[in-house]
Amino acid sequence: MGPTPAPAVTALLETSTTVRLRPQFEGNNISYAIGFKQINYLAETAVLNHFRTAGLPVGQLYQRFGLGFDVVDIHSRLGALLAVDDEAEAVVTPVTKDGENRFGFKVDLFVERDGQRLKCAGSTVRVLLRVDSHITAQEPLPAGLARFTAERLGSGERLETAAVAQPYGGFSDGRGTTGPDPVLTELVGEENAFGWRYRIPYFYCHFNERMQMSGFLRVMEEVEDLFLADRGLAIKEVLDTRGWIPVVTQSRIELLDESLMEEELYTVYTVEDIFKNLLYTCRMDCYVLRDGVLVKTATGTITHGYLHEIRPNVWEMATLDEPVVTALTTPRKASA
């Protein structure tokens, strides 16, 4: 057995913490409800507070030990509405198993409804501490922390590609394209999928170089928006004509490798399942092209349905009718 972990590391691994948080107003897109991305942000914020409470805030991890904090896996289930004015109670429970080299935490979000404590979401968050080459550590690591550090995040699957990437068209063309693009065409193939190529902006990144989990949550949200528009289900049009708005019941993203600032991110969004004409699940796979080889850097899934407003501020699940199911299951023909 190794040395006894330092008290701060023991606290990370063994002690639960609770913090009260409010969602950001940015996430209040429809009516008074908060969207899935901001709920994931709350889970991340609760874990950041857990590190702070243990005595290892992320700023000090970087400055003292040369370690970057990275959420490398986040899996959330949404059970009840989180409202814009809610103050959520976030309970963080360590779930790291012996021998695991990533911190694991269960994060449960609770709100008050009519005098009762109601669970609105539950997440599993995994964290890795990435050794940073930009700075020199000022102190040795606390005992027990080295197990959760890595020289890089993962080693994603490498795929040989016959496609020749098109050069970036210039800023006047915008940040991304849905095609025609030879690499996207190859990745999408004959699948019921949608492709999007996007230049990673610096404000989706952290620690000077790589895209962080919140950036991938933004990509997941945006690729869904683009996918629906591509299938003739643009969100505003559907909201205006049917009174329907997408709702998320669960999501997961796992980082497999590093995606670097200003690289081209190739995102493939594949419809995997439609459940009882109520919910549909899509898989998101992200790649970058390095030295002529595609590197898979992230993967995830998200499950959507639609809510419709039966009376002002009262929403219920909608049944997917035949035109919507047809749109979800019929890929648009793309040209290379």
Secondary structure of 57-74 in HEC code, one letter for each residue? CHHHHHHHHCEEEEEEEE
- Which range of 147-156, 166-175, 267-276, 309-318 scores highest in mean pLDDT? It is 267-276
- Candidate from 36-50, 146-160, 187-201, 277-291 with smallest mean pLDDT: 146-160
180 band by pLDDT with thresholds 50, 70 and 90: confident
What whole-number distance in Å separates Cα of residue 228 and Cα of residue 234?
5
Classified as helix, coil or strand, 102 is coil
Distance CA 336, CA 334 (A): 7
- Output the six-digit token pair for 237: 């049009």
SS3 155: coil
For the chain, first and last CA: distance in Å? Answer: 57
pTM to 2 decimal places: 0.94
Q: Say if strands 103-113 and 116-131 run parallel, antiparallel, or are unpaired.
A: antiparallel
62 neighbors 135 (Cβ within 8 angstroms):
yes
Mean of pLDDT values over 19-48: 95
- Identify the pLDDT of residue 154: 87
Is residue 194 within 8 A of residue 226, CB to CB? The reply is yes
* Residue 157: predicted pLDDT: 78
Report which of residues 271 and 332 the model is more confident about.
Answer: 271
CB count within 10 Å of CB 144 equals 18
As a 3-state breakdown, the chain gives helix, strand, coil percent values, each rounded to 5, of: 25, 40, 35
Supply the pLDDT for residue 2. 67
Q: Which two tokens stand for residue 20?
A: 């009260």
User: How high is the pLDDT of residue 270?
Assistant: 98
Higher pLDDT: 56 or 2? It is 56
Tell me the pLDDT band of 171, cut-offs 50, 70 and 90.
low
Tell me the C-alpha distance between 81 and 19, whole Å. Answer: 19
CATH for 152-336 is 3.10.129.10
Q: What is the DSSP string of 118-144?
A: EEEEEEEEEEEEEEPTTS--SSPPPTT
73 has pLDDT over 90 = yes
pLDDT band at 335 (very low <50, low <70, confident <90, very high): very low
Domain spans, the chain: 1-150, 152-336
Per-residue tokens: 259? 């995606």
Span 233-284, pLDDT tens digits:
999 999 999 999 999 999 999 999 999 999 999 999 999 999 999 999 999 9
- The yes-or-no answer to whether 1-150 and 152-336 have a common fold is yes
Judge whether residue 177 has pLDDT over 50.
yes
pLDDT, residue 173, reads 57
Cα separation, 22 vs 87, in Å, equals 5
3-state secondary structure of 183: helix
**Chain-wide mean pLDDT for the chain?**
93
Q: Which fold has domain 1-150?
A: Thiol Ester Dehydrase; Chain A (3.10.129)
Q: Read off the pLDDT of each residue in 29-54 and give the average, rounded to a whole number.
A: 95
CB count within 10 Å of CB 39 equals 23
**CA proximity to 43, closest of 257, 211, 256, 213:** 213
Q: CA-CA distance, 234 to 225, in Å (whole number)?
A: 7
pLDDT at 315: 83
